[in-house]
Amino acid sequence: MGGKHAARLKAKGIMKDALEPRKIAVYLFIIAIAVVFTLQFGPGSSGFGRANPAGAAPTTAAVVNGKEIPIMEFRREYVNQLQYLRSQGQPVSEAVARQFGLPQSVLDRMVNTELLAQAAERHGVKASDEEILKILQNRPDFQKDGQFDYPTYQQMLRDYYRQTPADFEEDIRRQITAQKMIGMVQSGAVVSDDEVRTRFEKEGNQARIVFARFLPSMYADKVPAPSAADLAAYRQAHEKEIKEYYEANRFVYQQPERIRARQILVKVAPDATPDVKAKAMERAQGLLKEIQGGKDFSEVAKASSDDQSTKPSGGDLGWVERGNWEPALANAAFTLEAGQVTQPVETKFGVHLVKVDEKKPAQDKSLEQVQDEIATTLYKKDKAKDTARAEAEKALAEVKGGKTISELFKPEKEQPALLRFETETRPEAVQTDTFNAASVNVPHLGPAPDMITAVFATKGPQVLDQAFPVGEGYVIAQVTERQLADDANFAQKKEELRKQAVQAKQYEVADSFLKSLRKSGEVKTNTEALDQVTGG
């Protein structure tokens, strides 16, 4: 089905249903994103290219059973996901997005869609033309004055998606087909009365707590460096741990030459005419003159770069190794000193201007060279953790004596640092939302199975009687609200609980189905290419 067919049906008034809003599984800061399946219809969400049997090339984000997901389309979806989160009031920097796994989440969603589409083809499932037309008709970026406009559609595909109408519509077809496939899988999810009853007993068993964390990092600056004798003794007693730390962090001690760089890109298609390439070079020369005239490189990048993934951050590429770039660009950038800017350099992506913000020479340090440094780090870490535990136990004794965690550890601001996604410099009281006995995480804290067991062993508000090791630190907690499952409400809540149980089962069967597709298929990801896009 081509774009002309879409326009013809538009003229007949066929495309009139409303587009469902874009879906997102969770906010980035609520959980470290782990999307099992979420299919989207929106800018950047159609991203499945032609076959590439040779495997992941530099222009490929992943290859799914021989079919590639182009890096350009991963980049577009990743940037759009960041923009979406920011539009929802989430202050997401690219560094934080990487920390919480957003790049992998985006790629997982794209891989899952392709796996499902391929499975659908094997089962004879296919989206209809009418379903595709409904999506196109109601896409806001294809409308003019509130109506689908074919010239606007063509322009968006040419300038933004870089696809023909036929290819774009085929990608939409694959996404709808993937959703149909997951719908078929989920339709078989059923739950018994016993499962509903079990869910009621777990979900009706609820609590809220207030807790405070005691992290080694809060006390690290109070730990003095070890004496020579202490260091020698620690090194001898922890020889295995020191070696393991070195091996786990070898990348820190053995690194190629790197630069922290920014770029301005003037995009040019690989098959552009000499005249177009000359105009791009002329434009890059003009931007270079602006910078040489005193304009800030990052501001020029924000205003003029064609690289949409780095434009909002002033062209920031993060740390780059020589091998990450084409030789011509690498040779130009790596010969510069910090603060200098290259002349325009042409690659297959267009014309680049690169500024070097910082340089780090290559290094190759042996274990013998860094063992004292590692021993000092581990020594101070152990001492800081001991201090954190001692401080947690001291605070617990005060709470058992009649004080409350909220009194002892009032946040410096209206919300504690943990809820502001800032570094915690001291223990602060954090009040959780209500959670139930089925939870695997404590709200705002994460996995803490021993603490959850202790919480739901209580019958009412009380202090938990120990400091729990959670992650790197220790946590003390008070149960502030407690509600037991009330059998009198079971009949009233049964149908709603059944719906929830079915939804949970649908998620489980979908997750299991996707895992089986991954296990039986072949998925290759190009981590180096992803790092280039995300600054990893």
**What are 209's strand-pairing partners?**
479
Give residue 285's pLDDT band: very low, low, confident or very high (50, 70, 90): very high
More reliable by pLDDT, 451 or 40: 451
Q: Is the pLDDT of residue 287 over 80?
A: yes
Q: From residue 305, how far is each of 265, 280, 318, 346, 348 by CA, in Å?
A: 5, 12, 16, 15, 16
Domains of the chain in start order, with CATH, are 3-189+515-534 (1.10.4030), 205-247+367-483 (no CATH), 257-361 (3.10.50.40)
Q: Is the pLDDT of residue 527 over 90?
A: no
Cα torsion 112, 118, 121, 123: sign: negative
Question: Which pLDDT belongs to residue 63?
Answer: 93
- pLDDT (tens digit, 9 = 90+) per residue, 151-200? 999 998 888 777 889 888 988 888 898 889 988 888 878 888 788 777 77
CB 138 within 8 Å of CB 21: no
Q: Where are the beta strands (DSSP E) in 307-436?
A: 316-321, 345-347, 350-360, 363-364, 430-431, 435-436
More reliable by pLDDT, 489 or 508: 508
Q: CA 339, CA 260: separation in Å to the nearest integer?
A: 10
Tell me, rounded to whole angstroms, the distance of Cα 189 from its chain centroid: 29
Q: Is the pLDDT of residue 16 over 70?
A: no
pTM of the complete model beyond 0.85: no
- At CA 508, angle to CA 504 and CA 514, rounded to 5? 145
Give residue 71's pLDDT band: very low, low, confident or very high (50, 70, 90): confident
- Amino acid residing at 8: R
CB 534 within 8 Å of CB 94: yes
Cβ neighbourhood burial of 6 (10 Å; 0-12, 13-18, 19+): buried
The backbone torsions φ and ψ at residue 194, rounded to the nearest 5 degrees and listed phi first, read -65, -40
Per-residue pLDDT, averaged over 130-147, amounts to: 90
Q: From residue 377, how far is each of 18, 225, 374, 387 by CA, in Å?
A: 58, 9, 5, 15
Question: Which pLDDT belongs to residue 191?
Answer: 80
CB 216 within 8 Å of CB 321: no
Q: What percent of the chain has pLDDT over 70?
A: 87
More reliable by pLDDT, 489 or 286: 286
Residue 99 has, within 13 A of its CA and on its CB side, a CA count of 7
